[in-house]
Amino acid sequence: MKIYVINGANLNLLGVREPEIYGSETLADINAAIAEKCKTLGINCEFFQSNHEGAIIDKLHEAWEKADGVIINPGAFTHYSYAIRDAISTLAIPVIEVHISNIHAREEFRHKSVLSAVCEGVLCGFGSMGYLMAVDYFRAV
């Protein structure tokens, strides 16, 4: 099994951007924890981060042929990217949406995800553990 872990806008700044909301872990720390968990479960994983919507869409298109599933934290694209939504909806593989913070306990504009309806599941508010919980999902399917 192979999964893609895709992170969107501003997630490259984890550890320095609003640590009171997102914590002190960097994206490299989170990716290392995911890689270690995947290794113990016999799952191959590939990591990708971009602040550019089109690059994320291209990576989702690539996942169509090269991955068995996707874990995505789209960052702010969650709330308005119908283009990413359409890319997810065309995939014949499961996609799990992850958010470090509880988007429903934040500013009102963050309460709505345009992606959730086309994802297999959503994890939010569990910090970086949400990514590991998503890996557990792929182990079970």
Would you please indicate which residues are annotated as catalytic (active-site) residues?
22, 99
- What does the alpha-carbon distance between residue 93 and residue 63 come to, in Å, rounded to a whole number? 8
Answer yes or no: are the C-beta atoms of 66 and 73 closer than 8 Å: no
Answer yes or no: are the C-beta atoms of 82 and 57 closer than 8 Å: no
Q: Measured in whole angstroms, how far is the alpha carbon of residue 26 from the centre of its chain?
A: 15
Q: Helices (DSSP H) in the chain: which residue ranges? A: 19-22, 27-41, 53-66, 82-90, 129-140
